Each structure stands twice: as structure tokens, then as C-alpha cells.
Structure 1
Amino acid sequence: MITGLGGPPRGPEFVSAGLSHDTPPVHGESATVPPTRTSRRWPLLAAAGLAIAGISAGTGGAAGYLAGRPTTATAPPPGTDGDLMAAAARTIPGVVSVRARTGGGSGFVFDDRGHVITNNHVVSGAGGTVGVVGSDGRRLTAEVVGTDPATDIAVLRISPGATLPPLRLAEPGTTRVGEPVLAVGSPLGLSGTVTAGIVSALDRQVRLGATTRQRAVQTDASINPGNSGGPLVNARGEVVGVNTAIATLEGGGSIGIGFAVPIDEARRVAAGIIGRG
């Protein structure tokens, strides 16, 4: 089953896109029926709640922003493919822990203006501000710029003077099945945690709750409560997705099936939120 990661906040349940609620999952997709339910759903654990890739919002006015401010991938230096230690070293300084009244999660710096991407379910109901903690232990206050529940993406803003480095974003179409990736975040409040895996599948069609089918990056990198909103990065330290949910057997815990919002969708949605101000 698939459930949101950990305690509140929780997101909608995940349902495999090709299955009806009463049809057993295909071979290899484990499912357990919760005692209080009669339909076969996979409880989905969100990295601090739950999420999904999806339809971009607010694309009007975003094109100009995409052409300028957000940090995008540049040609990686030679010899860095496969160097996960170097990728971790480049990524950790730009990752933050997000502390909200309703729960916690992770996020990463999106641009040089202090914008941070996280999950909507991490900050939902938190009000206009949340706390963030940098990898160096600094505690900062972040403004919630806007959220997009359809894609479970939210944007925060910290002071550009905080000097947290923005992460590089992978170019669309460059992520490959089988390439090594790292999930970086604060599972169970353990900031700066790095776990390794591979890209298990691209364009995985999933449905969360009553939403339409959405594209997701599937990975076997360990994702747990508190990872929600953190980056999934490749061996060059480029963000390929926003960690959002995992499949789990009844009783919880990662079983090596995690999902991330593809970075091209997350970037488009974030740019729209920022464009609206």
C-alpha cells in the first residue's frame, strides 16, 4: 500500500493508475488492505505527508521568469558522473529542514532570490510563515509565497542574505532509468541525511486520491517521514525530482518504491507561483 510518510500532515491515498479500487495490484506491486477499508488501495506515505507530480499551475507570466532567475543545469565538470560523494557535498548546503505547526519536511533552494521549493502538504495549514533550518544549523523564518495542491508543490522565500546556495536543476529529458540518484532531506528530523538508489522508472503514471493520472519519477532510494519536499539528485548534483511519497507495506517504512515530482513540472509550477508573487 502507499501512504503519506509519517504523521500529520497527510495527503491523499495513492492508487496505481492502471487499477480500479477493487482490482488487486499487478505482480510486484504489493498491497495490503487496511482493516477499516474494503477497497484495495495502497496507503501512500508522504515524506512528511503526501504528494504527486501533476499539472502545472500559473504558467501565465512564468516564461519570462524561467528565462532568467531560476538556477538551471549547466554543463557538469568533467569526471563527476557517478561521484555520489561529490554530489552529496554539492547538494547538502542547499537543502533545508522545514518546520511548520502542522508537521515538518524538507526543501531546497531554487534560485538566488531565496526561493525554496517544498511540498504543499508540508506547509498546508501553516499560515503565512514557517521555520527553516539550514544545513549549518541556522534557524530562519520563511514566507509561504504560494502553494499548488494539485501538484503538491509549494514555494517559500527566505532572505537572499541567508546565502544558502541554490541547487542546479537537471535539464528536461536528461534523466535516465538506471542512473544513480541521492535523496537528501530530514527523515525523522535527521537533517542532512543522504540515501542512495537509482531511477527505477520515468513517467510512472500514478493517481493520488481523486486526482487525475500524474507523471512521477520512481526511485528505490530510501525515502522516509521528513523527506517530503527534499531533492532527488543525480550523480552530478542536479535535481531530477522533488521527493513526495513512497509505497509501503502495512505497518509503514520504505520498501524501495518511492515517487518524486519530475523537476520540469516542479520548476514550471514554482515559476508560476513566484510570478504571481
Structure 2
Amino acid sequence: MTIEGLGPTPRGPHFTSPSVPASPGSWAGPPTGAPGVEAPVPSGPEPEPAGPARRWPLATAGGLLVLALAAGAGAGGVAGYVTGRDDAPAAAPASGAVPADLVAAAARALPGVVSVQAGNGSGSGFAFDDRGHIVTNNHVVAAGGPITVIGADGRRLTATLVGTDPSNDIAVLRVEGSANLPALPLADPRATRVGEPVLAVGSPLGLSGTVTAGIISAVDRPVRLGGTARRTAVQTDASINPGNSGGPLINARGEVIGVNTAIATLEGGGSIGIGFAVPIARARQVATDLINRG
């Protein structure tokens, strides 16, 4: 199983086969010069596959490979991450009902979600405040080049890079405040619960304004984001794919609970329902620090 980040997707993808990446670009691994990819030590012997042999691409025997799911034109993935051993307990469910009106949640979120074009690739982002700041993933903009964001209404806005935090895979952009992008509300991280419904919003394969639904599969999942430091991530089964990187994961109230960052794939690529997002508490702190310094 491969776990890939959600970075830039090639512009103008060819929809030839769901199992074959569009050209140009490849989602199978990082390009030459990208950060190294590590793998965790297996917790036990790897079971033999049942039935016809099915090979799972691994960084090393028994390991899970984590890559930035990014496919800019002429390049494969960008940054690399690795999950830790699956020994962290899931959070206990809290009491209280969770609203299930995902239609209303999508309507609230979509106006504040943007497509991000950086260099030859693209990803997603969302309005963080009313001063024109936009949060996305570091690996969406790491390749450099001019940055343009495209709003839900089709407006193309030139963005400047305020700052990046590669270890947390967070970057902050800025457009003119007159763009009036509506900031998305941020969730109380203490209220995020296993099993609650969520939406992933962004531009997978360049398809802007795409919304997919799922649930929170786990919280505090150990993941290494672009370096050796282990971080925790929100795990979800909402379908997210190349180009979703940097887009918000929102709850049924339309509040951002995380920044979509990585997914797990089988050989051949594509979402298999295991995705990871930077928790909003950490993303908010990192973004605020970058804004204050920038």
C-alpha cells in the first residue's frame, strides 16, 4: 500500500483509465531531488496474500510508503511522508448529536475554497481570514514559480507566498483583501469525533469545487510529514485525490477540521478511502505564526 500526499495535479488531465495516471506526470513517487522517503519498522511478519498474488508497493519490506500526492507537469510526487506504527488509540466519541446536513455544509464552504496554481502544477486552498490569507500545503507551492488562485466564481487572482512550514506541510498565501474571499470557520478541535460525517473540498485532477463525503476514521494518527518529526493527523475515508492537496476537510457544520495532505493508494494510484489531514489546531497555529512573521 502506498500513502501519497495530495499535491499539485497536472493541468488538463486525460481521463483514459482510472488506474493509469494522466500524462504528463506520475503519482507513483517523488521526482529526482525530492526529500527521501522512509518506512516504519513492521510490527510483525507480513501475512501471505490469499488467492491470486497481489503485490503491494512498499518502501521496504513490510513498510508503508508515504508520498506527497503531487503530479505537476513533467514531475512526479513532491514531498514524502511516512505513517508510524498503528499503535495510537482512536479518540473516544463525545456525547451530543452531530448535524447531518452536508448539503448546507458544502454550500457554506465552497465560496471560500480556491484552486491553487503554482508553477506547472495545481492544488487547493481555503480562505483563512478576511485579510486575503489562504492556507494550502507546502508541497503544493514548493516547486516555486508564479502562484495564481482561482475562486469559486472563476476569478483568477495573483497570490504572494507569505511563508511555509515544510515539517507540517502548511503554506500561507495572500491575495488582495479586496478579493473578498469568505473565510471558512475553524472547528473546535476538541469536538472532532471518530465516526462523524465530513466533506473533503477541493480540485482533484483540476476539477474545481469538487465535494466528496466520508467520516472521521481516526484522530491522532501518527504520520511523518516531510521530515523525521512524527506528527498526528486526522484520518478519513472521504475520497481525496491528486489536486485535493491543501483543501479543507470540513464537518457537517461547515467548519474546517483539517487540511487534506495525504492518501493511501494501491499499486496503480487512486484513492482507496484512507486519507490524512493536518489537524486544524496545528494548521491554525502554524498559519498564524507564518502570518505574524511575514
Counting only pairs closer than 5 Å after superposition, residues 48-197 of structure 1 correspond to structure 2 as 48=70, 49=78, 81-127=99-145, 129-197=146-214
> In the aligned structure 2, how far is the partner of 1:205 from the partner of 1:275?
28
Equivalent residues, number: 245
Counterpart of 1:65 in structure 2 is none
Contact 2:57/2:266 (8 A) holds in 1: no
Q: What whole-Å deviation, never above 9, does each CA across 1:30-73 have from its counterpart, x for those lacking one?
A: 98235xx65443333545355779xxxxxxxxxxxxxxxxxxxx
TM-score of the pair, normalised by structure 1: 0.80
Q: Which runs of 5+ in 1 are unaligned?
A: 54-78
* C-alpha RMSD over aligned residues: 2.8
1:93 aligned counterpart, secondary structure:
helix
> In the aligned structure 1, how far is the partner of 2:211 from the partner of 2:110?
8
> In the aligned structure 1, how far is the partner of 2:41 from the partner of 2:55?
13
Give 1:209 shift. 6.0
Give 1:2 shift. 1.4
Q: Which amino acid is 1:143 matched to?
A: T
Give 1:3 shift. 2.4
Note closer, same or farther for the CA distance 1:178–1:161 as it changes in structure 2 (3 Å cut): same
Counterpart of 2:87 in structure 1 is none
> In the aligned structure 2, how far is the partner of 1:254 from the partner of 1:177?
20
Larger mean CA deviation between 103-112 and 6-15 belongs to 6-15
1:173 aligned counterpart, secondary structure:
helix
> In the aligned structure 2, how far is the partner of 1:31 from the partner of 1:272?
43
Counterpart of 1:211 in structure 2 is 228
Contact 1:52/1:214 (8 A) holds in 2: no
Relative contact order, higher structure (CA 8 A, sep 6+): 1
Aligned partner (choices 39, 42, 57) of residue 64 of structure 2: 42
Q: Percent identity?
A: 64
Contact 2:68/2:79 (8 A) holds in 1: yes
Note closer, same or farther for the CA distance 1:179–1:38 as it changes in structure 2 (3 Å cut): closer
> In the aligned structure 2, how far is the partner of 1:124 from the partner of 1:238?
27
> In the aligned structure 2, how far is the partner of 1:24 from the partner of 1:94?
46
Contact 1:118/1:154 (8 A) holds in 2: yes
Aligned partner (choices 1, 8, 33) of residue 57 of structure 2: 33
Note closer, same or farther for the CA distance 1:96–1:209 as it changes in structure 2 (3 Å cut): closer
Give 1:81 shift. 1.4
Aligned partner (choices 10, 20, 37) of residue 41 of structure 2: 20
Give 1:153 shift. 0.2
Counterpart of 2:89 in structure 1 is none
TM-score of the pair, normalised by structure 2: 0.75
Contact 1:183/1:231 (8 A) holds in 2: yes
Q: What whole-Å deviation, never above 9, does each CA across 1:93-139 have from its counterpart, x for those lacking one?
A: 00000001142100000001000000000001314x40110011100
2:56 aligned counterpart, secondary structure:
coil
